Each structure stands twice: as structure tokens, then as C-alpha cells.
Amino acid sequence: MELNKHLSSRVVLSAPSDHSKIRTLSEVIVAVSVLSIVGAGWIIVSFCMFKQVRTFRHQLILGLAISDFWMAVNFLSSCAMNLSGHTIGDPRQQKFCSFNGFMTQLFVVQTDYWVLVIAICTFLILANYKHMSTWIQEHRVVLWLLPWGLSSLWAAIGLASAGYGNIGAWCWFTSDKVRLLVNFIPRWLIIIVILVLYARLYRLIYTAHNRFMSFNDDTSPQGLQPDTLEPETGSVSSTHRIGHPTISLQMESKDTEAGLEQTDGTIHGRTHARQPSPLLKKMARQMMAYPLVYMLIWTIPTSIRIYQSVTGKPAPFGIATVDKACIVIQGFADAVIYGINETSVAAWRESFRKSPPTAPAPALPSISVNVRHDIRVERTLRSESLDEIL
């Protein structure tokens, strides 16, 4: 009797008891779920349609998009049950609720692992860890199995040990303390890890840019020679990994603007440019956006878990609705921070373009710079443009 009373109190903290509130909550989550489905689906379709976005890192992003897609579909299915009149809190829907909770735990944890894998692989490739970056690019199957295997294991353990119950819009662990310990604390540890990794990458790129600018300040245009420096060898060189091994880093400028694109290994640029590269600024913003967006998304849900665990009182309905919407919106957020880049947008723009441009854009003059160790561009980095990596 006491156990049933305790379980009942836990469910009250997690799910509204009023039918009108349940319906309102379900309608909100349905709308957000559809948004995440569209976002994740856009990444999947882009990968399937366009060869230019089938790079090594895009393959990892595809895994994240698949997890986001099915997670949103799972949320949509439970809300559809509520709106159809067969509420998931009904004891007759216990089997569906257990399945729904298992899938929730599976994909929520799996998206965390995908984000961590993407951050680690990006760091290893751009930070010039030759052997490790070579290994991960030759063992892509392992990278795919890790998120699926670990998330399936934890979801099965959760089903066997604690079980899943109704929390309002879907089924999950009914105890806020359990969710806080099992899901939210590990998630924040992952966020901290990727924050450190991308901050380190930002520092590497910023330092390389400053050294390049310092070199330009000390060298006059008349003294420049059209010699090029071949980057160090011994890194990834196989074309079956992520691209052509002869592609390198290029800096070009038009007035005060600069861009990065794939070239034959020569570093180009106007030596009088003193303003920071807009593209480097953009890449720095992108890198730091990954952990910051996740921090923003999970701040409210984590705060609600702590509040309800400490006080034993349910959060106000409006805040609780925002809490669940933040979890569901992750698929759309991943589509924004991972899916929208120059490569994918340009591919879609090209597919909808009815006729090619009448005349090609004039080529910009460029000056070759012998930089030596100021900017180290390894074969792993040369195999993709920085836009595709970041």
C-alpha cells in the first residue's frame, strides 16, 4: 500500500492529472515533435541525395539525425495516444508505455553519445592526431555500433531495474531523482567535455590565424615568392576515407573578406589584410555553438529535475510544458547547428536552380606564401574543407 502511494506521488510530480492539461501538453509536444522530425529528416534526405555531403563527419551527423528522427517519432506516438483518448497513463496501456519508455531512454541517451563521438572525431582530425584520426576513419562501423550498443544496454537495464511509466506526454523514469542521476548528470558531463574540445579547437585555429597575420605583417608583398610548402606527410592519405588527399587549406581575400576552400596545397592570401577572417570567426562561432546550444536546451529540464527532487512538489504546468518541449526540440536544434552549412545549403540551391549562371565569376588574384610551421595542414585536414568538418 505504501509502495503504491509512493509510486503515485512520483507520477503526480511528473505528469498533470487534469485531462485538459494533458491534452494541451500533448498538442504542444506534437507540434515540437513534427518540427524535430522535419529537421532530422532534412539532414537524412540531404545525405541521401547529394554526394558532396557524404563526408566522414557527415556520416556521423547522419547517425545523430536518425536518432533524432526516431526519438521525435516516439514522442509523437505517445502524444497521439493521449489525443486519441487512450491515455498512456491508463493501466491498460502499460505495455505500450513500457515500450515507449524504452525507446525514449534508448534515443535520448543515444543522441548524447552521437554528439560526443562527433566532437571527439572532429577534435582528433583537426588537432592533428594522425594515428587516432586514421584509425577512426578506417573503423566507421565501430563508431556506429558504440552509440547503438551502449544506449540499448542502458535502456534495457532501466526497463529491468526501475521500469518506465507515464510522465505526461510520454513514458520514462517516473522518479525525478532517477532521471537526474541516470540521464541529466551524464549529459552535463558530456556537454562539459565537448565544450573543452571545441574551445581547444577554437584556440588552435585562432593561434594559427594570428601567426599567419603576424607573418604577413613581417613580409612585404614584393618579397613574396611563389613557392609553396608541402605539408607534413605520414597522415591519412587514402582516398577512400573522406576525400582526395591532395586537397589543402587556402586563404583568399577580396578587400577585407577571406574564405577557405580546397586547393592543391598552396596557401593564398593578400598580405595587407589585417582584419580577422570572417570565415574563421564563423567557424569559431559554430564550434562554440554546439555545446552552448545544448546547455541552453537542457538548463530548464535539469532545473526542474532538481527542484522536484528537492522539494517534492510539481513545477507549474507552464514551466513543465517548456521542460518537455526543450527535450523534444533537440532534433530541430541538431538540424540547425549540424545540418545547415555551406555544403548542404549550396547542394539544395543547386538542385533547385533552373539554369546555370551565364558567366563564371572572375578568378581572384592570389599570392603564394611560404609559411613553414605557422599553419600546419595535415592530410587529414586536407581531405575535407573546414566548412564540412566544422
List of residues 6+ apart from 250 with CB closer than 8 A: 259, 260, 261, 262, 263, 266, 267, 268
Q: Please, which pLDDT band fits residue 213 given cuts at 50, 70 and 90?
A: low
Which pLDDT does position 103 carry in this prediction?
96
Contact predicate 215/141, CB 8 Å:
no
Name the average pLDDT for the chain.
Answer: 74
pLDDT, position 387: 47
Q: pLDDT: is 370 or 126 the higher one?
A: 126
**Mean predicted confidence (pLDDT) in 30-35:** 96
What CA–CA distance (Å, rounded) separates 40 from 47? Answer: 11
Question: Residue 308: pLDDT above 80?
Answer: yes
Which cell numbers hold the place of 175? 522518479
Lowest mean pLDDT among 3-17, 93-107, 142-156, 298-312: 3-17
pLDDT digit string (tens) for 166-177? Answer: 998 999 998 889
What distance in Å separates the CA atoms of residue 269 and residue 295, rounded to the nearest whole number?
37
**Each residue of 66-90: pLDDT tens digit?**
999 999 999 999 999 999 988 898 8
Break the chain down into helix, strand, coil percent, rounded to 5.
65, 5, 30
User: Which string of DSSP letters, residue by residue, matches 274-287?
Assistant: -SPPHHHHHHHHHH
Tell me the average pLDDT across 53-78.
90
What's the whole-number mean pLDDT along residues 237-255? Answer: 34
> Is it the case that residue 306 has pLDDT exceeding 90?
yes
| Cβ atoms within 10 Å, residue 125 | 27
- Angle 128-195-125 (CA atoms, 0-180°, nearest 5)? 15
Instruction: Judge whether residue 26 has pLDDT over 70.
Output: yes
252: part of which helix (H) or strand (E)? strand 251-254
The domain segmentation of the chain, as residue ranges, is 19-213+279-351
Whether the model pTM is above 0.85: no
CA distance 78 to 84: 10
pLDDT at 80: 94
Q: Which residues of 148-163 are buried (b: 16+ CB within 10 A; e: fewer)?
A: beebeebbeebbeebb
Residue with cell 544496454: 153
Q: Domain spanning 19-213+279-351 has what CATH number?
A: 1.20.1070.10
